């Protein structure tokens, strides 16, 4: 019997020998965080996320570790989380066979979309098997089978949104090709066998395709997707349809992007997590219900009439098909002026109106001017940002709408590429118990230290306002925070 310590030394030695072998590359990133809450009897939040990629010839793999440890007592949704993920893939030039965790989006996401968003702390992944073939004429074929896991951070805790449905089976195939330099098309099929489906034939499926064309400075794209499912409880065929259209035109110094989308019972499931996430035209990322009942358009225009001046204008609207009381409109104008290499000014004005988007809010309108200035003096960088948000909020309780203001200002000083210091303040001139727990002032101080080119330490002391925020059509409520946050990002 070999002693455990000897076996461990042998494994470590074998791993070191493997890492030292010619042709093997290892790289990755680790993000470690520690939070201390001042207003919750010094409760803490510990988190670590590591992703490591290994490649040796045509073999490659990934290892993913995730740990979340909140303070006791663990109540409600606030529970510790431990995740271990791995991927093994054989990837010669024209073929890949993969087993384990992966991310996959078909087209623009009307049929299937999974992704990892570290900034928004949203990790929607598949675990199973995927095959990819790279064929002539810029053709790619993808076939997959697996299960979804949707990890989401909201109100200072992580949770698996589809915890009760992680046994759902997902199968799909996608074809994309560009036989001509100016023309391409694709087709896809996705099938979901749900845990709660009443019969084997009661699965949900998505069938769709896309076409794209380019001529000179103009590019156009169109995608169509149909959902076929079973009506819950009563049975019978349940159908949904969605399409997305976009066109871009660009000439020297000018560009124009136009989008149009119509999603009618396409989002699945209708609430909570989604297997598909179609695009939203709202720049800030707001959506109504992520493809269940949405229709809208967006336009973005940019111009650089002279070299130091940049202009941008955005307009987006999203609404329901038969409900005039739900929707969102946003427009924004931005200009940036750089009279020299050392000085930059930016001015922006954002206007947004939301109706029945947030829970318990019938309507909310904001007008937010923002000013930014950056000045470079030798190795020193000075940055100033200020905004003042005019807010009108209607809770729908037959009372006069609230009118309040949310100012924010920050001043940063950086020395070289190693140090950055920021002093900031956020405030609101009205006591809002539901939105901000009755608090009205949030000062903070932050230091960012690039210890080496591969290690960055960020320490923030003070308070954060929180509130309703969105990214890519997914929204959440961020609780106000008061305490210390320390984050170390290491790349290797």
Q: What is the DSSP string of 324-382?
A: TTSEEEEEEEEEEE-SSSSEEEEEEEEEEEEES-STT-SEEEEEEEEEEEEEEETTEEE
H or E element: which one contains 17? helix 4-20
Per-residue pLDDT for 471 more than 70?
A: yes
Q: Smallest Cα–Cα separation from 172: which of 199, 201, 147?
A: 147
CA atoms of 491 and 82, how far apart (whole Å): 22
Per-residue pLDDT for 21 more than 70?
A: no
pLDDT at 195: 82
pLDDT digits (tens, 9 = 90+) for 165-187: 999 999 999 999 999 999 999 99
**Cis peptide bond upstream of 73, omega within 30:** yes
pLDDT digits (tens, 9 = 90+) for 438-470: 999 999 999 999 999 999 999 999 999 998 899
CA atoms of 79 and 131, how far apart (whole Å): 35
CA atoms of 334 and 126, how far apart (whole Å): 38
Q: Could you tell me the pLDDT band of residue 398, with boundaries at 50, 70 and 90?
A: low
CA atoms of 462 and 76, how far apart (whole Å): 27
pLDDT at 231: 82
pLDDT digits (tens, 9 = 90+) for 237-264: 889 999 999 999 999 999 999 999 999 9
**Mean pLDDT, residues 80-101 taken together:** 96
Span of 68-77, 232-241, 470-479 with lowest mean pLDDT:
232-241
**Mean pLDDT, residues 25-50 taken together:** 93
Q: Smallest Cα–Cα separation from 264: which of 244, 282, 237?
A: 244
CA atoms of 468 and 477, how far apart (whole Å): 4
pLDDT digits (tens, 9 = 90+) for 187-241: 999 999 988 887 878 899 999 999 999 999 999 999 999 999 988 766 778 899 9
SS3 (DSSP) at 310: strand
The CA-CA-CA angle for residues 54, 55, 60, to 5°, reads 85
Mean pLDDT of the chain: 92
The sign of the CA dihedral 71, 75, 77, 79 is positive
**Mean pLDDT, residues 412-429 taken together:** 96
Per-residue pLDDT for 19 more than 60?
A: no
Q: Smallest Cα–Cα separation from 296: which of 282, 284, 283?
A: 282
Query: Pairing mode, if any, of strands 204-215 and 254-264?
Result: unpaired
Q: Which residue has the tokens 């749900």?
A: 194
pLDDT at 17: 53
Q: Smallest Cα–Cα separation from 329: which of 362, 302, 370, 296?
A: 296
Enter the pTM of the model: 0.90
CA atoms of 210 and 192, how far apart (whole Å): 21
Enumerate residues 6+ apart whose C-beta is below 8 A from 268. Answer: 192, 204, 206, 227, 229, 240, 274, 275, 276, 291
Enumerate residues 6+ apart whose C-beta is below 8 A from 221. Answer: 108, 210, 211, 212, 244, 245, 246, 247
Supply 432's token pair: 């809002």
- Quote helix, strand, coil % in the chain, to nearest 5: 5, 65, 30
Per-residue pLDDT for 109 more than 80?
A: yes
Distance of CA 361 to the CA centre of its chain: 24
CA atoms of 271 and 150, how far apart (whole Å): 13
pLDDT at 72: 86
pLDDT at 2: 54
Task: Return the C-alpha torsion angle 307, 313, 314, 315, nearest 10.
Answer: -160
Q: Smallest Cα–Cα separation from 427: which of 412, 409, 413, 414?
A: 409
**Contact (Cβ atoms closer than 8 angstroms) between residue 44 and residue 70:** yes
Strand partners, 378: none
Per-residue pLDDT for 5 more than 50?
A: no
Strand partners, 56: 24, 59
Burial of 270 from C-beta contacts in 10 A (0-12 / 13-18 / 19+): middle
pLDDT at 1: 47
Enumerate residues 6+ apart whose C-beta is below 8 A from 460. Answer: 444, 445, 446, 484, 485, 486
Burial of 3 from C-beta contacts in 10 A (0-12 / 13-18 / 19+): exposed
Span of 121-130, 153-162, 333-342, 396-405 with lowest mean pLDDT:
396-405
What domains lie within the chain, and their CATH numbers? 87-250+259-268 (2.40.160.10), 341-492 (2.40.160.10)
CA atoms of 449 and 412, how far apart (whole Å): 13
Query: Pairing mode, if any, of strands 254-264 and 59-70?
Result: unpaired
Per-residue pLDDT for 11 more than 70?
A: no
Strand partners, 441: 427
Q: Which residue has the higher pLDDT, 196 or 358?
A: 358
């Amino acid at each position: 019997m070999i002693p455990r310590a000897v076996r461990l030394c042998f494994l470590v030695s074998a791993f070191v020998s493997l890492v030292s072998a010619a042709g093997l590359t290892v790289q990755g990133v680790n993000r470690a965080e520690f939070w201390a809450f001042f207003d919750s009897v010094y409760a803490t939040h510990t988190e670590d996320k590591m992703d490591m990629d290994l490649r040796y010839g045509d073999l490659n793999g990934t290892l993913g570790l995730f740990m979340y440890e909140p303070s006791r007592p663990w109540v409600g949704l606030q529970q510790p989380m431990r995740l271990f993920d791995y991927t093994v893939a054989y990837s010669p030039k024209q073929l890949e066979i993969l087993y384990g965790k992966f991310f996959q989006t078909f087209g623009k996401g009307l049929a299937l979309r999974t992704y990892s968003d570290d900034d928004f702390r949203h990790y929607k992944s598949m675990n199973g098997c995927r095959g990819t073939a790279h064929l002539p004429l810029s053709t790619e074929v993808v076939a997959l089978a697996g299960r979804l896991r949707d990890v989401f951070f909201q109100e200072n805790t992580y949770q698996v949104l589809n915890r009760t449905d992680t046994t759902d089976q997902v199968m799909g195939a996608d074809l994309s090709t560009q036989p001509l330099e100016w023309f391409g098309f694709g087709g896809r099929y996705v099938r979901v066998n749900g845990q709660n489906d009443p019969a084997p034939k009661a699965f949900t499926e998505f069938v769709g395709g896309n076409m794209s064309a380019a001529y000179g400075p103009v590019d156009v794209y169109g995608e169509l997707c149909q959902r076929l499912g079973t009506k819950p409880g009563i049975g019978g065929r349940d159908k949904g349809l969605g399409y997305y259209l976009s066109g871009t035109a660009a000439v020297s110094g000018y560009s124009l992007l136009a989008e149009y989308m119509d999603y009618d019972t396409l989002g699945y499931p209708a609430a909570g997590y989604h297997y598909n996430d179609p695009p939203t035209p709202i720049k800030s990322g707001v959506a109504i219900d992520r493809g269940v009942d949405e229709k809208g358009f967006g336009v973005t225009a940019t111009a650089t009439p002279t070299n130091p001046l940049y202009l941008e204008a955005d307009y987006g609207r999203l609404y329901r098909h038969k409900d005039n009381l739900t929707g969102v409109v946003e427009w924004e104008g931005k200009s940036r002026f750089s009279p020299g290499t050392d000085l930059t000014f930016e001015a922006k004005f954002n206007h947004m109106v939301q109706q029945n988007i947030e829970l318990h809010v019938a309507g909310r309108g904001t007008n937010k001017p923002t000013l930014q200035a950056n000045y470079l003096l030798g190795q020193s960088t000075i940055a100033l940002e200020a905004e003042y948000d005019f807010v009108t909020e209607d809770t729908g309780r037959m009372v006069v709408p609230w009118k309040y203001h949310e100012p924010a200002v920050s001043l940063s000083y950086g020395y070289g590429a190693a140090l950055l210091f920021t002093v900031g303040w956020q405030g609101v001139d009205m006591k809002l118990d539901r939105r901000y727990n009755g608090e009205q002032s949030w000062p903070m101080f932050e230091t960012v230290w690039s210890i080496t080119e591969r290690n960055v330490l960020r320490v923030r002391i003070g308070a954060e306002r929180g509130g309703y925020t969105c990214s890519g059509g997914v929204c959440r409520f961020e609780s106000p925070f008061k305490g210390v946050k320390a984050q170390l990002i290491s790349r290797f």
